Amino acid sequence: LRITTPVGFGSTWLTERLGEFIDRYPDIQISIVVSEDELDVSMREADVAVRIGKPTQPDLVQRKLVTMSHAVYASPTYLHEYGTPHSYRDLDNHRLLAFDETLHPPFSNINWLLEAGRRDGTRRKPVLRVNNVYGIFRAAVAGLGIASLPEYMGRASRDLVPIMPEAEGPSYELYLVYPEELRNSKRIGVFRDFIVRKIGEMRL
């Protein structure tokens, strides 16, 4: 079973939960391709894909998994050294982590923290830019600064603390997709049911 996922989802949330699936279905061999680029599922570059945003291909079976939001996180080490911001104005005096401008996610304003609360159109300068969400996650865990991260990444980490709970970051939908010709595949079916159940547990 060849699965392709976005970098953050595949690097953290999915891989950390696959042990249960492997124990339950030992005969299914799994290959995960974690990539910022979308593999062509229709051309069988992967059997199943987790996608950010609703896919446009008409020949794919689509299952919406969940709506995800970004929230603000920092490590306890960072907060101990630099203090905890409580408002957007406080961010002016903090170290911010940002996504590299070459990253083009399928939702707007990924670097919203750089301009949040500012009405003059200016942007704060980040101390570090990284071109994928897992890199931002690791930098935040290392105490390099404050980051906007998907909630599933922040919740799963014991090394990050949610801050500024009133701040509203961008949100997006996650979809599970696979080719129409695999609609009745038992391998696809058990994986689909597994990931839907696990995401349901996460939401609870």
List the pLDDT tens digit at each of the 204 positions of the chain: 999 888 777 667 788 889 899 999 999 999 998 877 777 888 888 899 998 888 878 889 999 998 888 999 999 999 999 999 999 999 999 999 999 877 666 667 889 999 998 888 899 999 999 988 889 999 999 999 999 998 888 887 889 999 999 998 888 889 999 999 999 999 999 999 999 998 888 765
pLDDT for 103 equals 66
CA distance 15 to 152: 13
State residue 149 phi and psi, 5-degree precision: -135, 155
Label the pairing between strands 171-179 and 48-52. antiparallel
The residues pairing with 148 across neighbouring beta strands, listed in sequence order, are: 72
Beta carbons within 10 angstroms of residue 88's beta carbon: 16
Q: Which residues of 15-40 are buried (b: 16+ CB within 10 A; e: fewer)?
A: eebbeebeeebeeeeeebebeeebbe
CA distance 138 to 89: 25
